Structure 1
Amino acid sequence: MIKLKRVYEELSPEDGYRILTERLWPRGVSKERANLDKWMKGVAPSHELRKWFDHDHEKWDEFKDRYRKELFGSEAVQELIDIIKEEESITFVFASKDEKHNSTVLLKEFIEQLLSD
């Protein structure tokens, strides 16, 4: 249902509605190049959590727990779910080099679980 894509990858018609899920704008990418439909800073980890994690894989499990707590009951998450229900195709766009250990991967899992309940 929800696809993931790095902001540095080429745009594709299959992307559908593109949502940047980062709190900070990706380095070296113009708004034209990013070609986003929406930038949702509110679904990204807080500045404090992002700085604490600092892409340290040893903190991954704790980061997952802390981030889920931030997402639970968030108005931004509800807005995101409303968008997903309206669109045929959704792609969460992220900047991280690590395509497996980043907040957007967790966000996708969190949203898909909410939608399946």
Structure 2
Amino acid sequence: MICCKRVYQSVSPEDGQRVLVDRLWPRNMRKDALHGQWLRDVAPSDALRRAFHAGDLDFAGFSEHYRAELAAHPEHWYPLLDLAAKGTLTLLFAGKDTAHNNAQVLADWLEEELDRRGPGSSPVCYAQEPGG
């Protein structure tokens, strides 16, 4: 199963393998508080990230460009397939928008790749903020 969760949410045993997939380190977060690994190379390029945050691209455009970047660099995301195939993989992101972020696009991408490999993992889950 592949889940997406804000990095600021509490660590849970259900998280399984935790991987931060943002290019920038989250604000006000100590490195020892991650309880996982950081794969900054799997994040969108700086130019794409800036265009999306500036509003130059809507989420559909961002997703399309990010998927093109993922297709061009399988070496960045391929190790995540093994983690997802072995159990729960939680992709961590810092953004406030839990529905429109790079972790969601990456989770969908990885699920599609797992489906191509054979029997897929469980459905993708998206963690919601407490109380929301």
Give the match's secondary structure for 2:58: helix
- What percentage of residue pairs aligned between the two structures are identical? 39
Do structure 1's residue 30 and structure 2's residue 30 form an aligned pair?
yes
Q: Which runs of 5+ in 1 are unaligned?
A: none
Contact 2:51 2:57 in 1 (8 A): no
Extract structure 1 runs of 4+ deviating beyond 2 A.
55-58, 82-85
How many equivalent pairs are there?
115
Q: CA deviation at 1:55?
A: 6.0
Q: CA deviation at 1:83?
A: 3.0
- Distance (whole Å) between structure 2 residues aligned to residue 81 and residue 73 of structure 1: 16
What amino acid is the match of 2:66?
Y
Aligned to 1:72: 71
Aligned to 1:53: 52
What amino acid is the match of 1:39?
W
Give the match's secondary structure for 1:28: coil
Q: CA deviation at 1:79?
A: 2.1
Q: Which runs of 5+ in 2 are unaligned?
A: 117-132
Summarize the Cα distance change of 1:16–1:8 in structure 2 as closer, same or farther, 3 Å threshold.
same
What amino acid is the match of 2:29?
V
Give the match's secondary structure for 1:72: helix
* TM-score of the aligned structures, taking structure 1 as reference length: 0.90
Aligned to 1:103: 102
- Distance (whole Å) between structure 2 residues aligned to residue 55 and residue 80 of structure 1: 29
- Distance (whole Å) between structure 2 residues aligned to residue 108 and residue 92 of structure 1: 7
The CA RMSD over aligned residues, in Å, is: 1.6
1:13-24 equivalent positions in 2, closer than 5 A:
13-24=13-24
Q: CA deviation at 1:68?
A: 0.3
Contact 1:57 1:101 in 2 (8 A): no
* TM-score of the aligned structures, taking structure 2 as reference length: 0.80
Give the match's secondary structure for 1:54: helix
What amino acid is the match of 2:101?
N
